[in-house]
Amino acid sequence: MQLENKVALVTGASRGIGRAIALRLAREGAFVWVNYTHNEEAAREVVTQIEAAGGHAQTVKADVSDLAQIETLFAGIDSLDILVNNAGFGDFVEFDKIDAAHFDGMFNLNVRGLFFVTQAALRVMRDGGRIVNISSIASRGFSGSAAVYAATKAAVNAFTSAISKDVGGRGITVNAVSPGPIKTELYDTAFDDEAKKRMASNSVFNRIGETDDVADVVAFLCSDASRWITGREILADGGVV
Catalytic pick among 31, 33, 36, 149? 149
- Cβ(19)–Cβ(11) below 8 Å: no
Catalytic, 149? Answer yes
Pairing of strands 56-61, 80-85: unpaired
| Separation between Cα atoms, residue 219 and residue 59, nearest integer Å | 20
Phi, psi dihedral angles at 210 (to 5 degrees): -100, 155
Q: Give the helix ranges, DSSP H, for 28-177.
A: 40-52, 67-75, 100-107, 114-124, 147-167
| Separation between Cα atoms, residue 67 and residue 95, nearest integer Å | 29
List the catalytic residues.
149
